[in-house]
Chain A
């Protein structure tokens, strides 16, 4: 219980300061893996695995090209109606 109180002591609503910088979640995971690896990566940011992440993003946004297709279909149908009306009414 005391250990828990000790951890809670760092809590307090405040903006980032030079002596209390914000911590990024990605840094937490990286530091937990190895402090030195985290430090070395800070010198040179590596982005392994970014491509796989981007593929998931593409799947999530699968609706975007779909929207274009749907509007194309609606537009095509509109053109068809106009052409049909023109064909049926011309003398």
Chain B
């Protein structure tokens, strides 16, 4: 009687472990493709956040997810963004592309990595943290993107050093309509 009870309990624990294993594996595969491993993660919940620094450009940052391909040791920075309402598969914001471009520079310049990524991934997720349909977009590390990033880095540095009120740097009403500080901005476009 006791033996049967113990065996039943054991089988239940084994079943529970198998279900949890399958679920964890499925969730992990959504974010880490086969043959890749996680080098760094700034997504909380026990990840390994690593602040990377490019000494040459004085650029610092924490990549949401940095993957390394086993064997070739190719690195792939991954940046997660919340998909906007009416997101169209395959589309990216210019600012998101620039941010990923900045991570390309950092991977190249950080003494612990010292590798130039050929590509990176922008992943658009919904509010529950799931990848939206067509929300994974591969961005190539091109000379043009690099030039845009360097220009943006220098503009930010100039603004940091200036230490005075910064004015609107665009004439796009869309940006103002979707700006999180619109309520506090006296220069917002209507």
* Chain A residues near B28 (CB-CB < 8 A): 59-60, 62-63
Contact with B along A31-53 (1 / 0, CB 8 A): 11111111111001010110111
* Chain B residues near A76 (CB-CB < 8 A): 9-10, 13
Find out whether the CB atom of A80 lies under 8 angstroms from the CB atom of B6.
Answer: yes
* Chain A residues near B156 (CB-CB < 8 A): 23, 27-28, 31, 38
- Interface residues of A, count at CB 8 A: 64
* Chain A residues near B81 (CB-CB < 8 A): 49
17 of the cross-chain contacts (CB-CB < 8 Å) are A4-B143, A4-B147, A20-B157, A21-B161, A23-B156, A25-B106, A35-B166, A54-B129, A58-B44, A59-B27, A60-B28, A62-B27, A63-B28, A69-B16, A76-B9, A80-B6, A83-B2
Find out whether the CB atom of B57 lies under 8 angstroms from the CB atom of A11.
Answer: yes
Find out whether the CB atom of B159 lies under 8 angstroms from the CB atom of A35.
Answer: yes
> Can you list the 5 inter-chain pairs with the closest CB atoms, starting with the nearest?
A55-B129, A25-B61, A57-B43, A35-B169, A62-B24
* Chain A residues near B168 (CB-CB < 8 A): 34-36
Q: Which of B16, B20, B154 contacts A7 (CB 8 A)?
A: B154
Interface residues of B (CB under 8 A from A): 2-3, 6-7, 9-10, 13-14, 16-17, 20-21, 23-24, 27-28, 30-32, 38, 41, 43-47, 53, 55-62, 64-65, 80-82, 94-96, 98-99, 102-103, 106, 125-129, 143, 147, 149-157, 159-161, 165-170, 175-176, 179-181, 184-185, 187
* Chain A residues near B152 (CB-CB < 8 A): 28, 31-32
A26 within 8 A of B: yes
Find out whether the CB atom of B187 lies under 8 angstroms from the CB atom of A77.
Answer: no
* Chain A residues near B126 (CB-CB < 8 A): 52
Q: Which of A8, A10, A37 contacts B180 (CB 8 A)?
A: A37
Find out whether the CB atom of A65 lies under 8 angstroms from the CB atom of B10.
Answer: no
Find out whether the CB atom of A29 lies under 8 angstroms from the CB atom of B167.
Answer: no
CB distance from B119 to the nearest CB of A (A): 17
Residue of A with least CB distance to B146: A7
